[in-house]
Structure formats: structure tokens, C-alpha cells
Amino acid sequence: MNEHLYLPKKYNNPSRLLKALRITSERSWIKAGERRVLELFQEMAKRVPAYKDFLKKNKVDSLKIRSMADFRQVQTIDKDNYLKEYPLEKLCWDGQFKNRRWVISATSGSTGKPFYFPRERAQDLQYAAIAELYLLTNFDIRHRATLYIDAFPMGVWIGGLFTYEAIKTIAERGKYHLSIITTSVDKKEIINAIKKFGKAFDQIIVGCYGPFLKDVIDEGLLCGIDWKKYNLKFVFSAEGFSEEFRDYIIQKTGLKDIYRGTLNHYGTVDQGTLAYETPISILIRRIAVKKSPMLYENIFPKKNKLPTLCQFDPELFFFEQVSENLLCSSFSGLPLVRYDLKDYGGIIGYETMIDKVKESGIDLIKELKTATIENTVWRLPFVYVYERRDLSISLFAFQLYPEPIRRVLLRRQFNGSLTGKFTMITRYDHRANQFFELNIELKPNIHKSEKLKTLIEEMVIECLLDENSEYRKTYADYPEALRPHVVFWPHEHSAYFRSGGKQKWVSKENK
């Protein structure tokens, strides 16, 4: 396959690309993305055995797919109808798996078995190209000696190693004064690295999951560390967070630049880093949350849920919105086209976003100048994403599913006291620390007890440690934070166990 299919040649020159991002029209980016996604479709139809068979089963003649209107009629693929239906080698280009050079990452395995996603050097280069753009724009690595602390989990999961490869690639090819230390999720190592090297570099960028960073900050404060002595910046991934969380980090670390000093990714193990926050997306989100309810209503469909707002490059990751679902097509490790991410969100064009801001009575030019980020604006479309709507909760940046808990509560020793019904929720205490609440329905005339509560907590922990690799890894460092908080409810209580309807195993509320 031609290498330009993985990464168009213009991504080899970040300085030129940065200029293009500021002056090239949104329509030009979208047209380039449409050409590329049609090319991806045709290549897959010819060279990926699984996709060739999938099209045949769905009676799609690939030769007749010539326009975007045709393309949008092609059946979507997902884990269930595509990835799990075919052997791994059939999902690869030319049916070749064992004769390639892969780095393999896995999902957490919360549903029983982890799913493995291989990627090649091309995907590392994709991420490096994306990361280099924001490292230049937000963090000015061209002029600042920088230490990047890679505090994402190391191991079979994508975050830590994917980040390491990208930062290492950027440092070597760009000849920047950019160093990296791989602490993984070890709070003491992160704190030690900052104390040891904090004054040796112009700035330190910490890449990690949001709730975990808060743990690091809080523990450092207890140890007497004055975070404001260091020039710290932050790159997040894996889950969304509130603007209150961003404010907390700013307050505790003394971060001066709100819009360039923090950045959140939208990515998946399936396809990699799909999009990320830009200074203008952070500005618009903060205005919507803090200043303008009208803007909030104009751009976000749910009043009580705040999505992550990013910009994306259609040439690398082509998003589509179907109803309230997000699809993405990309030359990922396993090539995927019209892939249903099972993510709840939507797309807002750049020009459309500008109009919505104006309609809300906001002078965006003035706001950009006040924030001194007017020279960072890219004419790329926006994507917003909420937490997944599937049966899972997000805890410390990984997913917890109800199935293992359901099995625990149906064990024989609980037959006389529990109905087996429950609702799981991620909550936050008064200090904004995450915890996992497990609301459990008692049988009629059964009363709660500390003995029963402790037994359930211990058995749930034992089960999750056995079945969920990410839970197991994180629990080793934060056992109390990952201990379920069991709350008992009377039989058929209207809060979670109303009679006559389907049981809601997962709730996204956070009272």
C-alpha cells in the first residue's frame, strides 16, 4: 500500500501544515477527507478479506460506491457485526497478520474477554503528526526545553506506549529539546520526577488521566509540594471532565494559560487519537458553561450533560454523525470504515460553530483576543462526545461493566437477601474524588447490615480483580478509591427499582 494513504505527505512538514490549518477553508479539509475516505473504502473492498465478505453478505457492489451519497448508504460496522465475526488475519490488509510488524494493545476485558487491536509504525506516525501540531501550537516546544512525563498506564493498554512512541518520534525528527520519562501510573515517581527535573527544563508536560492527576496533585500538596514553583502543563485522555476540574488544576498548580496549558484527547484503542481540544474549543466550551446558557443550548443537545468538545482533521479521521451516534473511518491498524464507535455525540462544522456563537450574542473575535489565542484558530470541524451510552461506567479512565457484578449478586449466599438487581454509578465526593457506587435492591422484609455490605464489597472486588485487567492494575495502587460503595434500597424502591420496567443497570447521574 502507498504510504501516503496512512499519512498524506503534507504531514511531514508541521510548520507548513500549521499555516494551512489557519488559512485553508473548512470545506477544503472536508473535501480532502471525502476523497480519502472513498479511497479507503475501495482499498478495503479489494484487499481486506473480512470487509470484502461483509460487503458481499450485505449485497453491496463496491464498484457502485462512487460518491459520498453512495458511501453514506453502506452498512456500518462495529465490534459485534464485524470485528468479532472474523478471524484477526481476515481483518488485516491482504489477510496478513503474522508476517507484519505490530504493536498490540487490548481493551480491559470487562465484558469477559479483552479485544486486541494491532497497530503498525504508520499509526505511531499518525499520532506523532497530530501531537506535534499541538505541542507546537499550545506548548511552543520549538523554543522551550520540555520534559514530557508519560503517566499513562504502561502494559497492554494503548495509552502509555502509544504516547511514548509519538513523543520519541517527535523529539528525534523535529530536533526539539524534548525529553520523556515514563513513570506510568506511579504517583511517587511522577512527584519525584517533577521535584528532580522541575527546574532543569523550561516546562514540564504531564500526560495522564484526569482523575489520576487530581490524585497526584492532592498527594503532592499533603507532602508539602508547592506546585506553583514549577511550570506545569497537562495533556489528558480517556474520559471527559468538567470545567470545574480544569479550574481545580489551574488553581492548585498556578497554571497561567487556561487555553494552552491543558488539553484533552478523544481517542479509542480501536483507532487511536481521533481528535483533541484546541484553544478555541476550550474557549467556546468555557463560555457556554460559565457565561452563556444560550450558547450551551445552541451547541449541546443535553442540558444536564457536558460533552468533550474537540476539533478533528477529516483527512486522518473522517467522522459522520448518524442520529446521535458517531461513526469514524480511518487507516488504523485494522482498517475501519463507517465504524460505529458506540459513542454518543455529534459534529458541528467550523463555520456553523462560528454562526452559533454569534447567534448567542458572543463576540468571538473579542474573546479570542482577550484570551490571546487568536493566532491558534484552525478551520477544522468540531466533534463533541459524551460518555458512552452502553452498559458501562467510567472509573479512573477505564470501563466497568455490570456483567461480573450481576454474577456476584446472584451467588447462592445472596439468594435469601438480594433480588440480584442493582444500579452502578460513578460519583464524586465533596473533594471531587471519583468513587464507584453500587445501589442494590433488597428482597422484601430484608434489612441492610454491615456484614452483608462488607461481604458484597469484598466479593465484587475479588471478581473485578480476576476479570478486569485495568481494574487490577489500578487497584494495586489505589485500593480504597476503587472499593465499591454499597448502598442498599428497599424492595421496588422508586429511585432505581421501579416495578414493571427494564432494570437500569448503569446510571450516568451524579447528584
pLDDT digits 0-9 by tens, 464-499: 998 888 899 889 888 888 999 999 999 889 899 875
CA dist., res. 273 & res. 267, Å (int): 4
Residue 152, C-beta contacts closer than 8 angstroms, at least 6 positions apart: 159, 160, 163, 184, 185, 207, 208, 209, 237
Q: Which of 67, 45, 47 is nearest to 57 (CA)?
A: 45
Q: Which residue has the cell 450516568?
A: 508
CA dist., res. 462 & res. 479, Å (int): 12
> Residue 489 gets which letter from DSSP?
E
DSSP reduced 3-state for 236: strand
Residue 207 CB neighbours (<10 A): 26
* pLDDT for the residue 346: 96
Confidence grade of residue 111 (pLDDT, cut at 50, 70, 90): very low
Mean pLDDT calculated for residue range 303-324: 91
Structural domains in the chain, CATH included, are 3-96 (no CATH), 118-391 (3.40.50.2300), 394-489 (3.30.300.30)
303 φ/ψ angles, rounded to the nearest 5 degrees: -70, -35
Does the pLDDT of residue 307 top 80, yes or no?
Answer: yes
Please write the tens of the pLDDT for every residue from 185-222.
888 999 999 999 999 999 999 999 886 787 788 888 87
Concatenated DSSP letters of 40-98: HHHHHHHH-HHHHHHHHHTT--GGG--SHHHHTTSPPB-IIIIITTS-GGGGSGGG-ST
CA angle 327, 331, 337 (to 5 degrees): 35
Please write the tens of the pLDDT for every residue from 426-438.
988 888 888 889 9
Does the pLDDT of residue 338 top 90, yes or no?
Answer: yes
Mean pLDDT calculated for residue range 298-320: 91
* pLDDT for the residue 24: 94
Task: Say which range, 35-39, 220-224, 368-372, 395-399, has the weakest mean pLDDT.
Answer: 395-399
Confidence grade of residue 181 (pLDDT, cut at 50, 70, 90): very high
Confidence grade of residue 77 (pLDDT, cut at 50, 70, 90): very high
Residue 208, C-beta contacts closer than 8 angstroms, at least 6 positions apart: 149, 151, 152, 185, 190, 216, 234, 235, 236
Q: Which of 77, 70, 88, 78 is nearest to 55 (CA)?
A: 77
CA dist., res. 145 & res. 303, Å (int): 42
Q: Look up residue 100 and give its three cell numbers.
A: 507484519
Residue 308 CB neighbours (<10 A): 22
CA dist., res. 215 & res. 434, Å (int): 10
Mean pLDDT calculated for residue range 326-341: 94
Does the pLDDT of residue 367 top 60, yes or no?
Answer: yes
Confidence grade of residue 502 (pLDDT, cut at 50, 70, 90): low
379 φ/ψ angles, rounded to the nearest 5 degrees: -90, 55
Does the pLDDT of residue 500 top 50, yes or no?
Answer: no
